[in-house]
Structure 1
């Protein structure tokens, strides 16, 4: 099978990292607006963003008798705030500071009559520079963020297909702005031991509620300085001792003792003869590793969709 460069664009960490560092902080500002205006949903699912045909979106956010939505458009390179009243405001996305973005966004919200106050410092990042003081992060490479978005589009579709094979409790496929990753999480249905917490600039009680029940989770992440590769990951909580020893596919997948999870580099998927099949092998075998070592009731939690093919 020929590699579709449109669906699987090349992502080079060193070319992407500065833009990701800035856009992650922009998404945190938008995500925190959703957090403050949306009723709580278990495991902080009310704070996430979602992949849509032009970028990342909050979907509808309650606001008094109406609602509004905030969209990152990584094709036109705009942030759009749309209200149920019919009004809207736009912000141009270009190499600008986090402080500039924060100031203009809240000016636009005021024009639209949206009253919201957020905790104006980043989470899961250290150091956590207050948004209105951050003149450091100011990168925005349109080509790089568009490539990253195109990869998210493809991966979101594959994750959604993977999600459909599980009849137990499962998260949406959603984008967490804390770690800047696209993720989907399956649940065994049993409570988990209290999580130790320790995530930078994140209250332990939030992490502990997120991991209140046993999970098998997978996702896609752009990498960091310690692991400078866009990659897929898979982990479970709690983590049985035998989890790391389980056979997973494809052969390029590996277990990181330091991180406590399996990884598969994005390039190993992108350059495969069949990228979708390769990624699904990773998702399915790492889930099986978690379910088998964690003694999940797989017969009760999994579903057979072969009848749809008839």
Structure 2
């Protein structure tokens, strides 16, 4: 195992907002989705429970995605996708580091490699191996269908996440009320941040494909304004999105920014196409205006106490 990660690959483009059309990486997308579910379910099984399933998510790093530290007895460990060196790293607080290659391999093979490596270093975990929020799920240990891993596409996936994480983090900092981390949901395969009004919400009706209703109700137990980035699927290309639960009256007709944004009747949320962001002269300003104006749609129409919830930190130098 090579532990020298000091040199990044020399083929990294200087372009910030990289193209990644759905058709170009569909197979890698599906495989990565399932691999992240395996790692996310390990965190879900072992991490202390936190409201709205925040204990199950992954986080963007300067090299990929990580579980962050997971307690295990008197030890902690973390699992990280490194999309620069294309390795899955398992690191423990007692000095153990194991690496599993990210390469074309079946979900079943990846699952077996991860579980046997954990067992070798004294970490036992039992998973529900049925994937979530996917069509026609195959148990991880039986899935020899999904095998694709394209290095370039995986790296573009991560580099797009870096930019989205950066802007969502800026947006998150402007709120004093309860707010989620900026985190990656492996079920829906998207990066999100959620603001809360502080009030309870009516029970969610459920009906989300591939997700139990009681799971959805815990996620939406309180009023939210949520936004994020999704990589698209099928005929829908990558996009930024924003929605509210419960949806206040008049939400879909609220004037939001920028002009490229619109309310999608199919998705029942505001969307901003990623390609519009890529082509913009000021991509950061475009995304931040979308996040802010869609939040205002939820907060104004939902009668949130904005004066108490919003925040501009004053730094004393």
Q: Above 0.5 in TM-score? A: yes
Deviation at 1:209, TM superposition (A): 0.7
Aligned twin of 2:96:
87
1:207 to 216, 222, 225: 216
Q: Distance in 2 between matches of 1:289 and 1:41?
A: 28
* Match status 1:184 vs 2:215: no
State how many pairs are aligned. Answer: 305
Deviation at 1:88, TM superposition (A): 1.6
Counting only pairs closer than 5 Å after superposition, residues 32-181 of structure 1 correspond to structure 2 as 32-181=41-190
Q: Distance in 2 between matches of 1:147 and 1:259?
A: 25
- Determine helix, strand or coil for the equivalent of 1:6: coil
RMSD: 1.3
- Determine helix, strand or coil for the equivalent of 2:240: strand
- Determine helix, strand or coil for the equivalent of 1:281: helix
* Match status 1:301 vs 2:309: yes
Aligned twin of 2:256:
248
**CA-to-partner distance for each residue in 1:284-307, whole Å, 9 max, x for gaps?**
0000011111111111110123x3
> Does 1 or 2 have the higher relative contact order (CA < 8 Å, sep 6+)?
1
Q: Distance in 2 between matches of 1:5 and 1:42?
A: 39
Q: TM-score if structure 2 supplies the norm length?
A: 0.94
Q: TM-score if structure 1 supplies the norm length?
A: 0.96
- Determine helix, strand or coil for the equivalent of 1:68: strand
Q: Distance in 2 between matches of 1:216 and 1:61?
A: 28
1:262 to 265, 270, 276: 270
1:219 to 223, 228, 246: 228
Q: Distance in 2 between matches of 1:254 and 1:63?
A: 45
Deviation at 1:12, TM superposition (A): 1.3
**CA-to-partner distance for each residue in 1:169-213, whole Å, 9 max, x for gaps?**
000000000000000000000000100111222221111010000
Aligned twin of 2:288:
280
Unaligned runs of 5+ in 2: 1-12
Deviation at 1:309, TM superposition (A): 9.2
Deviation at 1:18, TM superposition (A): 1.4
- Runs of 4+ deviating beyond 6 Å: none
Unaligned runs of 5+ in 1: none
